[in-house]
Structure 1
């Protein structure tokens, strides 16, 4: 509270949550609309998966540049522009007739838009506006992606089934546009812009104080050239690439199609994926809480190990009806879906200091590279073998390798006197 009023940090975080839901909405569409697009245009799963891979690849590669641009031009400008790109890409899909148009709209425009307000956006808000409860807020904002999936997936599946796939595409475009005024009205770049300190900062702290504008492509590349010399970066990036492959790339893109292969209605499968999102909200918020209290390396080892086991079991759970074992998978996998984000953000702050958000942008880029490879790779496996089974097994084995990489990270202690704004709270 500030003078008996709600601290502005919580307003910024709340609007950021809503904005992230808007970005997440369209990312939930591809897995639901894969079959309708295949039926209408005759495009193969590999072709549609390739468009999704362009989307998720750009979603990651744009992230570090977006984090740097937020330093240069401000959070509001970057996020509002990103939402407009998402709306344009989603709305223009209703006119497409060729695969390249799917690549241009679904892949290029939406990929750039969502990448401009992805997880580095979370790191920027929490790094500038919070000292206390930073891990928890990171978890809450990260969960916004799951909340977007939760809100839109069942509705998209229902609308696609009743009115065709173009109706949900327009709905998502409209949802992104609605969020733009909220961003422009309520998000501010630094606490000092409204005359307060960051939430939980001590008097005289420089956390959240506006500094000279820096950033842009030069800074993003400069941070990359610095962090790639450190082994910890490759351990974090490698683990996060596997995280992306096993979530957005594989389950997020192909779960509905895989369930459909076993006779399950698309609306039922979409509902299950939405429930994954529901439990992900709880799991990611809990992960943020744990990140404030438990060694982040141990959390990553646990998350990756448990995820790998669940993916190895998944092929035996599919069927025309939802059995108790599938419900158990949905709950378990949902809790673990992107619980890896808060501890990874914390480790980036710990090892890279003031460059933490941009460094995390590059780590997150690896997440989307892994997701892109899995999105197209799983589609090719399905086209060649008539089944996704091999894809699930490969992803499960890779998760075990990610757990080993996380266990290899050495801890770096940051002195309490550090004033870079990214000291571990």
Structure 2
């Protein structure tokens, strides 16, 4: 490599690092405002609008479903045109939607705003950020880049839940949304506009896997992979919504139950680090299958030992290690299996069903808990984790056919 080539390589690496830093900030703010703030705003918003919390939560569920349905078209756009225009437009839409949220006066207006939030979420959160990174980063640095974004993004709840709470206490929920919309606009719009535009997509090299993204639909391993993440996403969503109530039913006071449930978010960052470090020695699908199996065993023991603090902590620590693993595992497994060509679309094909499962899982969990009780619900979650682990392990035995370049 000549001196000039080395200088160009270092300059490109510096640009990718700036891009990763920018996307780490935008996804953190995006998740904080578009996802986590809702739980703090739910009570005062529902009371002022005169609607039940269940009706209000339906708006949030609508946003999640819309985001999932938008995943494939967003992925196709990213593959064809890159991320600058799409992510910048998504940031503008998100800011306007949150500002509109502050002005809603009826249930219909609330749901309309959350349709827009769902569209914007599909354009600015993890999946498009990962697709942009995959398109521009060197293969050896993609996993670390994705890990960096998810580690910073994992702090969104820790930052925005208390921040939103203080703002609501001091200014009310409507003014809080105006302030959050402003924060979203001044951080995400310029970062997407200026950081993403400097990066050109890496050329497809000889020997890379090529072909239309639809080729994955002919791979039985993709359907196993999709089944694993769909089942696991639904299981995690059920635990996210119902864990506090189950811990209370085991005899823990509400404050302690909430604190114990908070272990899941804290341990998710640790789980991502463990997953990334283990990827140096083992395939990502194998690592993820092992973590999901540990989750299944841990949550199955919660009904047995969860009445004691030590037992509950032990189960939730082990379960929490896998709470955020899919964020880093999904792109890594897809890259390992199918390469970078068409990554945005392929990722969207997987994101759509997993997002829908995440939205609908808690509803099914509520029905099961009402009919049979929380213990069968928790054991069902444990079985779902084990099934997902087995499905992921089996994908290693199914090597996709490579498309030969003509």
TM range, normalised to the smaller chain?
0.7 to 0.9
CA contact (8 A) 1:61 1:365 kept: yes
**Structure 1 residues 71 and 90, CA gap change in structure 2 (3 angstroms):** same
Any residues of structure 2 matched to 1:87-106 within 5 Å, and which?
87-106=95-114
> Would you tell me which structure has more helix in proportion to its own residues?
2
Q: Which residue is 1:117 aligned to?
A: 124
In 2 relative to 1, CA 100–19 (structure 1 residues): closer, same or farther, beyond 3 Å?
Answer: same
After the TM superposition, which residues 365-376 of structure 1 pair with which residues of structure 2 at under 5 Å, given as runs? 365-376=352-363
> Alpha-carbon deviations, 1:349-394, whole Å to 9, x = none?
2333312332122112121011011143345567x56976554443
* Structure 2 equivalent of residue 82 of structure 1: 90
Classify 1:361/1:265 alpha carbon distance in 2 versus 1 (closer, same or farther; 3 Å). same
Contact 1:119 1:361 in 2 (8 A): no
Q: Is contact 1:284–1:339 with CA below 8 Å preserved after alignment?
A: yes
Q: Is the 8 A contact 1:64 1:358 kept in 2?
A: yes
Alpha carbons 1:296, 1:343 under 8 Å: kept: yes
In 2: Cα distance, 1:318 partner to 1:30 partner? 29
Structure 1 segments unaligned to the other structure (5+ residues):
193-197, 199-204, 208-218, 420-425
Match status 1:20 vs 2:24: no
1:78-125 deviations in whole A, cap 9, x for unaligned? 11111222222222223334333332223x111111112333321331
TM-score with structure 2 setting the length: 0.80
Match of 1:130 in 2: 138
Partner-residue secondary structure (3-state), 1:132: helix
- Indicate yes or no: 2:230 matched with 1:223: no
2:157 — aligned with what? 149
Q: Deviations over 1:191-242 (max 9, x none)?
A: 47xxxxx6xxxxxx746xxxxxxxxxxx9xx634x32222111111111112
Q: CA deviation at 1:70?
A: 1.9
Q: Secondary structure of 1:294's match?
A: coil
What secondary structure is seen at the aligned counterpart in 2 of 1:305? helix
Structure 1 contact 258–387 (Cα < 8 Å) conserved: no
In structure 2, stretches of 5+ residues that fail to align are 1-5, 206-210
CA distance in 2, matches of 1:128, 1:40: 47
| Alignment counterpart, residue 377 of structure 1, candidates 337, 357, 364 | 364
Contact 1:21 1:148 in 2 (8 A): yes
Q: Is the Cα–Cα contact under 8 Å of residues 350 and 413 in structure 1 kept in the other structure?
A: no
1:176 CA displacement: 1.6
The 8 Å contact of residues 37 and 161 in structure 2, kept in 1 or not, is answered as yes
Quote the residue 2:394 is aligned against.
Answer: 408
Bigger CA drift: 27-36 or 56-65? Answer: 27-36
Taking the aligned partners of 2:137 and 2:371, their CA distance within structure 1 comes to 50
Structure 1 position 359 matched with structure 2 position 368: no
Partner Cα distance (2:213, 2:198) in 1: 21
Over alpha carbons, which structure has the higher Rg?
A: 2
User: SS where residue 140 of structure 2 aligns?
Assistant: coil
Q: 2:299 aligned with 1:290, yes or no? A: no
**Quick one: structure 1 residues 81 and 250, their matched pair in 2 at CA, closer, same or farther if it must change by over 3 Å?**
farther
Out of 228, 245, 255, the position equivalent to 2:234 is: 245
Aligned to 1:304: 292
Normalised by the length of structure 1, the TM-score is: 0.76
1:175-254 to 2 correspondences below 5 Å: 175-178=183-186, 179-188=188-197, 190-191=199-200, 206=204, 223-224=213-214, 226-247=215-236, 249-253=237-241
RMSD (CA atoms) = 3.7
Q: Distance in 2 between matches of 1:254 and 1:169?
A: 27
| SS class of match (2:131) | helix
Q: Find the residue that maps to 1:95 and give its secondary structure.
A: coil
Q: Following the alignment from structure 1 to structure 2, what is the Cα–Cα distance between the partners of residues 347 and 414?
A: 16
Conserved 8 A contact 2:133-2:142: no
- Alignment coverage as a number of residue pairs: 386
2 CA distance for matches of 1:352 and 1:308?
Answer: 28
Distance 1:118 1:386 in 2: 36
